[in-house]
A = this chain, B = another copy of it.
Amino acid sequence: MSEETAEGETDDRRDGNGDGTEGGPADDEREYRQVLEAVRDRVDPDPDERERLREVADRLAERAESAATDRCPDADVVQVGSTARDTWISGDRDIDLFVRFPPELDRDTLEEYGLAVGHATLPEGHEEYAEHPYVKGTVEGFDVDVVPCFRLESATDIRSAVDRTPFHNSYLEARLDEDLAADVRVTKQFLKGIGAYGSDLRTRGFSGFLTELLVCEYGGFRPLLEAARDWHPQVELDPESHGQASFDDPLVAIDPTDPERNVAAVCSAANVARFQHYAREFLAEPAVEYFEPAAPEPLSPEAFRAHLERRGTTPVAVRFDAPDLVEDQLYPQLRKSLDGVTTGLDARGFDVFRATAMADDAGVLLVELAVDERPAVERHEGPPVHVQGHAAGFYEAYDADPDVYGPFIEGDRYVTEREREFTTAREFLESERLFDVGLGAHVETALEERYEVLVGAELTGLLEEFGTELREYFEPTP
């Protein structure tokens, strides 16, 4: 690590300095270094761990290359991903081998060869399906993927997302020196600590590739945090200055191998804000805690009841059997369903205060209501009296109806007060109308099968399965 203690911004590519105002710059710097050392102790793989991984990876790569060239003399194998680039965190055990075939090969043959090479490399492995099939297996404790792809001239020629990976790998390998790789590991751990790491659709955070790109672009962990502290979204990075498309996302990092792709497309506004928040907090007062993912104790029934009492709201849960989907499919559907339920409740006057979705064996749409009861009547505005036929029809229909108040006149319109369809949120959620709100397709199917509505203290029954999620909900942090 650089050891300068000069104040203010610096051109050094790796290490700006904190602008702490307490304890003096030298103290601040010492504190920062101590924290970073502790973190590196934790995240840097030791020589043994490295050696073991290297040995296994090389052996498997050789085996794969031999099996590949047997079938297609022009094939080769590249190791990709964080373990190939030394940006993996101690304890990570992913080895990714990409088997590249010439682009002249047709896709069917590529898949056939790919699987054959995979099985030859990982005799115990099994097939999985992403954009196309590949083989996954475990070797000496490492999780190994053997993925076939095309070897192309340019990343813009790619036929599927996996073809892009080798280009990313070369791009980063050319730019990551030992210090930057070390800072990538620290940054990843920081993002894990604050809950913003991962481009899966549950987290919608920072992917590994995005993290490496940001560290390269800003020149290290500390300059990245110092920049993030001052970010004003939309933040746009374009390492190759070749961006061609425009994006709505709060963070835009143009893929150095593809001018039309935003590497940060999946990263939510909340995670960008979260990173900015914790960058400020950490730089102001460095601590190892920021690198430690929160592991909240499940909420106890007593604490749950205390929150209910203190908040005075009415939490309502729709619980169903979680559809059997991978998280990247499940969470978007849960969010869509939660939006639908929220909109449906709000439209009926049941004010939603906050809401969240949870899934384990059960799926849960949790809506916390500020208003869970409405009166027995609702206003029903008719047409302006001057709209001839329509007005007369409205008046006659409701004048003859003993169950409505009115019609009377307000402003230029007929108004009646009629019986409200649902006077409690529970009635609405237990009715067929729940299926009109725009649910995710698989969630809808699951609800058609079976669901139950829990209100208020009945949610205590969720604590066993979702105690952690409920603590996060009721004791929210940035």
Contact = CB atoms under 8 A, between A and B. Distances in A.
Contacts of A232: 386
B370 A423 contact: no
A66 interface: no
A217 B376 CA distance: 47
A312 B423 contact: yes
Interface stretch (A142-150, A175-183, A266-274, A461-469): A266-274
Interface in A369-387: 370-371, 374-377, 379, 384-386
Contacts of A277: 385, 395, 409
A405 B371 contact: no
A322 to B, nearest CB: 25
A273 B377 contact: no
B370 A311 contact: no
B386 A276 contact: yes
A351 interface: yes
B388 A230 contact: yes
Contact of A413 (B273, B311, B313): B273
Interface string A386-397: 101000100100
Nearest to A399: B478
A317 to B, nearest CB: 17
B371 A478 contact: no
Contact of A384 (B273, B414, B417): B273
Given A385-B277, A386-B233, A392-B280, A375 B409 contact: no
A400 to B, nearest CB: 14
Contact of A231 (B272, B370, B374, B386): B386
Contacts of A412: 233, 250, 269-270, 272-273
Contact of A375 (B250, B311, B349, B392): B311
B349 A351 contact: yes
Give chain A's interface secondary structure class.
mixed
- Identical copies of this chain, number: 2
Interface in A332-386: 349, 351, 353-354, 370-371, 374-377, 379, 384-386
Interface in A400-445: 405-414, 417, 423
A51 to B, nearest CB: 42
A8 interface: no
Given A270-B409, A406-B476, A423-B312, A276 B353 contact: no
B312 A273 contact: no
A65 to B, nearest CB: 47
Given A273-B384, A385-B276, A408 B478 contact: yes
Nearest to A351: B349
Nearest to A372: B375
A310 to B, nearest CB: 6
A477 interface: yes
B270 A375 contact: no
Contacts of A349: 351, 370-371
A379 B353 contact: yes
Which of A232, A274, A354, A409 has most B Cβ within 10 Å? A409
The 10 closest A-B pairs by CB, nearest first: A312-B376, A408-B476, A312-B375, A273-B385, A313-B375, A269-B412, A273-B412, A232-B386, A409-B478, A269-B411
